[in-house]
Amino acid sequence: MARKKIALIGAGQIGGTLAHLAALKDLGDVVLFDIVDGVPQGKALDLSQSGPVEGFDARVTGTSEYKDIEGADVVIVTAGVPRKPGMSRDDLLEINLKVMEQVGAGIAKYAPEAFVICITNPLDAMVWALQKFSGLPANKVVGMAGVLDSARFQHFIADELKVSVEDVTAFVLGGHGDTMVPLARYSTVAGIPLTDIVKMGWMSKERLEQIIQRTRDGGAEIVGLLKTGSAFYAPATSAIAMAESYLKDKKRVLPAAAFLNGEYGVSNTYVGVPIVIGAGGAEKIVEITLNSAEQKAFDKSVGAVEGLVEACKKIAPKLA
């Protein structure tokens, strides 16, 4: 069986980490693409030289030409600019939208059969634009945010209760922004919903609220500490989990920005919901029932994403 091919568009902080993880997990050969000549080639050479030590055979190459991504099974997009302290994800919209147009054209030409995972911010609007610019089917283009937001929530809960992260599941819905909706009712410790954990007195309601807010601000907290860029280890790991589920047809149920066509009462918009990822891409959108407070928070989040999509249409009228 031929080795799978993973193309990484953007060879910055997340791109380099993605390449390392993909090689360590032997997911396939890796092509790192970037417009800055030398960076993808240099990182690819460095990573290749870790192969003999780690014992991976994946070929890691760097390029600035789209033709080298030809036939990729998976494309992960991080091209664009990240946040600096004081910036919101939405401040990146105009510049990253232009990047999505170039990337979409490159994917359409050389990797139209690929499963595409977008990470570039503002995530929900950029994945929407990337799907439109590339013309790929909507079930083959998804955005990574929910796995990361849920992992942040899981980490904070496990840390607070002093339990293993392995026993904590977390559930975050909605757009990847300040309006994201961490759902306590659907997040559990060994199957016990966090709402019951509060009732049992294991954690106070106030503490849970603080953790939920810290999850929402999780990206900004790291931007504030790093000062020169945004988080990259956990975002890369999260996208690799999605790529692996596709490549191995694992059919994992993961939160991701998916194209909604009536589900959750939303149309023609990408927003974070649980989906099944298998060989067919986004194979199923899982529609959970929301209580009125959750629905209100979800609607607010969808409204924020729709506002960004409208801004994209104004900047690039061909998306309208």
Q: Indicate whether 104 belongs to the interface with ligand A3D (CB under 6 A).
A: no
User: Which one among 88, 102, 179, 237 touches ligand A3D, defined by CB under 6 A?
Assistant: 102
Choosing from 43, 83, 140, 176, the catalytic residue is: 176
One-letter amino acid at 178 equals: D
Helical spans, DSSP H, in the chain: 13-24, 39-48, 51-54, 93-110, 123-134, 146-161, 194-199, 205-216, 218-226, 233-247, 292-315
Task: Please report how close the Cβ of residue 289 comes to ligand A3D at its closest, in angstroms.
Answer: 26
**CA 163 – CA 283 distance, rounded (Å):** 33
**CA 106 – CA 156 distance, rounded (Å):** 39
Check: CB of residue 258 under 8 Å from CB of residue 280. no
Instruction: Please identify which residue in the block is written with the tokens 């607010």.
Output: 300
Structure tokens at 17: 């980490």
Q: Which of 218, 213, 216 is nearest to 230 (CA)?
A: 218
> Which residue, 13 or 245, is less far from ligand A3D as judged by CB?
13
User: Which one among 13, 154, 215, 269 touches ligand A3D, defined by CB under 6 A?
Assistant: 13
Q: Indicate whether 120 belongs to the interface with ligand A3D (CB under 6 A).
A: yes
User: Which one among 11, 97, 130, 208 touches ligand A3D, defined by CB under 6 A?
Assistant: 11
Task: Please report how close the Cβ of residue 35 comes to ligand A3D at its closest, in angstroms.
Answer: 4
**CA 21 – CA 14 distance, rounded (Å):** 10
Known catalytic residue at 176: yes
User: Which one among 4, 7, 8, 10 touches ligand A3D, defined by CB under 6 A?
Assistant: 10
Q: Quick count: other Cβ atoms within 10 Å of Cβ 164? A: 10
User: Which one among 148, 194, 197, 308 touches ligand A3D, defined by CB under 6 A?
Assistant: 148
The dihedral through the CA atoms of 50, 234, 117, 67 has a sign that is negative
Q: Residue 94: which H helix or E strand, with range?
A: helix 93-110
User: Which one among 62, 82, 175, 281 touches ligand A3D, defined by CB under 6 A?
Assistant: 82
Q: Indicate whether 36 belongs to the interface with ligand A3D (CB under 6 A).
A: yes
End-to-end CA distance of the chain: 42
Helix, strand, or coil (residue 65): coil
Task: Please report how close the Cβ of residue 12 comes to ligand A3D at its closest, in angstroms.
Answer: 2
Q: Residue 40: which H helix or E strand, with range?
A: helix 39-48
> Which residue, 15 or 182, is less far from ligand A3D as judged by CB?
15
Check: CB of residue 123 under 8 Å from CB of residue 143. yes
Piece of 43-51, 76-84, 107-115, 306-314 that binds ligand A3D (CB under 6 A): 76-84
Q: Which of 311, 134, 152 is nearest to 217 (CA)?
A: 152
Size of the residue set binding ligand A3D (CB under 6 A): 35
Task: Please report how close the Cβ of residue 312 comes to ligand A3D at its closest, in angstroms.
Answer: 15
What residues from 222 to 261 belong to the interface with ligand A3D (CB under 6 A)?
229-232, 235
User: Which one among 145, 243, 273, 275 touches ligand A3D, defined by CB under 6 A?
Assistant: 145
**CA 177 – CA 219 distance, rounded (Å):** 9
Q: Indicate whether 177 belongs to the interface with ligand A3D (CB under 6 A).
A: no
Q: Which residue is nearest to ligand A3D (CB)?
A: 12
Q: Indicate whether 114 belongs to the interface with ligand A3D (CB under 6 A).
A: no
One-letter amino acid at 232 equals: F
- Contact residues for ligand A3D (CB under 6 A)? 9-15, 34-36, 39, 78-83, 92, 96, 99, 102-103, 119-121, 123, 144-145, 148, 176, 229-232, 235
Active-site residue set: 176
